Amino acid sequence: MGGQAKSKKKNKPRRKEHHSNRGDSRKSCMELVTRTAISCPTTDSEQRGLSVQERMKVKMQEKAKKKTAEKYTTEQLLEKTEECIDNFNFEMAQMFCQRALDIEPTNLKILDMLGNVCAELGNVEKAKQAFLKAVELSPEEGHSKYMYLGQIHTGVEAVQYFSKGIEVMLNTLEERTHSAEGAAAASDHDAELTGKDVSVAFCSVAEIFFTDLCMEEGAADKCKEAIERALQYDPDNPEAMQLMASYLFSIENIQEGSVFQEGREFLMRSVALWLPGQRSRAEPCGQEEDEDDEEHQQSGIPPYESRITTAKLLVEAEEYETASEVLEGLLEEDDEVVQVWYLLGWACYLQVEKSEEPDTFKDSARTYLTKAKKLYMKLGCDDAAMLEHTQQLLGELGPGDSAADSGEEDLPLENIGDDFVESSDDEDAMEH
């Protein structure tokens, strides 16, 4: 007690000195901050280049992290993570998930969740490290990590990751079939595994042989084999059907008959699964679509880019009406994609000679292609081949009376958005 009293007594003059001299006070405080910061361990190499204040902030964050880890259980942190994911708050989800991983660094569920959250945030490297750690800890369990690793790699590496993921999935399905115990022991993620997941993975492999590895020896055969396996595990997978159509269209001398027709059939079956117009034609007359069917159809609509590919194939198959339906649906979602306007113009151009009303298709082709060209310039696209073909087609179509009268070619680029809106309104008025 005496020692403490003596210490207090000693400190009194210093406090008076500090109050009488603010400059010395600031200096003394900075020395205290510096000593505190220097005493902080800098185990992380990233901290070494930080300022004193930044190092102190890192230390405070580490303290908060430790306190959070002591306060909450892993289960509670994962519940908060899932809640944030449901609310699309991926930043907070990453924070809670990282805290859970600090407590259990080898928990596969947490690693998988963290990898997916980081992928949503666009942090590819952190997601990759999480999934690679999961692969290291459990190479024969959980297929999703292999699917993600396959997506961020190319060529042979991508095929290897996808193939390993397929192997894990098939083993899981086999265990579930032959052993109730094996099914019960499956992870939560694998418990939802279906043949559709296997089909999607085989489609990913086929796409790589279509693109990155198309020049490899035997690529065509491996591509076809992957598509056939995809259809084996999900005969109603529109992506697999479309890939089969692409494969058949790519075979040499397809115009000889049967192969081209087979490709067209696969393509139309694919489109009928999600395109409203085709779906209604395929259903028996008088059959009404209930809410569940409509919801299922909406969930089965392919991504935007995939539907652009569908439109290209439909134009190649000379299914112009269906191609236009697909492209018009894309415009409703986003009317600033040059390729969509270009394809609409190209589809109309190809119908000029075959139609009984060639002038109608000429006018439509000219309108779509003009918009494609103006939007191309506005957005600064870099597809020189598409621009060249667009200009070539416009040259062949000529200016046209309506375009010359309206001065459409001379509209400034900044008015292009208004031009699209006005055009859409005019078309709606004509329909009504």
Identify the segments of the chain with pLDDT beneath 70: 1-50, 61-71, 179-191, 252-257, 277-299, 401-432
Spatial contact of 375 and 336, defined as CB atoms under 8 Å apart? yes
Q: Is the dihedral of CA 240, 244, 249, 251 positive or negative?
A: positive
Amino acid sitting at position 25 = S
- 323: tokens are 């191609």
In this predicted structure, what is the pLDDT of residue 304?
A: 94
Largest CA distance in the chain: 111
pLDDT of residue 299: 55
Predicted pLDDT of residue 149: 94
Give CA separation, 385 vs 204, 311, 348, 409, in Å.
27, 18, 19, 21
pTM: 0.69
Q: What is the pLDDT of residue 56?
A: 74
| HSE of 62, CA atoms in CB hemisphere, 13 A | 12
Cα dist from 153 to 15, 132, 148, 159, 187, whole Å: 64, 13, 9, 9, 26
| Cβ atoms within 10 Å, residue 259 | 16
Residue 267 sits at the vertex; the CA angle it makes with 261 and 271, to the nearest 5 degrees, is 145
Please give the structure tokens belonging to residue 94: 């990453």
Question: Do 62 and 95 meet the contact criterion of CB atoms below 8 Å apart?
Answer: no
pLDDT in tens, 144-188: 999 999 999 999 999 999 999 999 999 999 888 876 554 455 555
pLDDT of residue 300: 73
What lies within 8 Å, CB to CB, of 239 at 6+ separation is 200, 203, 230, 270, 302, 306
Residue 124 and residue 152 in contact, taking contact as beta carbons nearer than 8 Å = yes
Can you tell me the distance from the alpha carbon of 143 to that of 164, in angstroms, rounded to the nearest whole number? 8
pLDDT of residue 70: 55
3-state helix, strand, coil in the chain (%, to 5): 80, 0, 20
pLDDT digits (tens, 9 = 90+) for 405-418: 444 444 444 444 44
Of 144, 163, 289, 142, the residue nearest 229 (C-alpha): 163
Residue 243 Cα distances to 277, 300, 359, angstroms: 21, 16, 35
d(CA 244, CA 267) in angstroms, rounded, equals 8
- Residue 285 carries which DSSP code? T
Query: What is the reported pLDDT for 41?
Result: 43
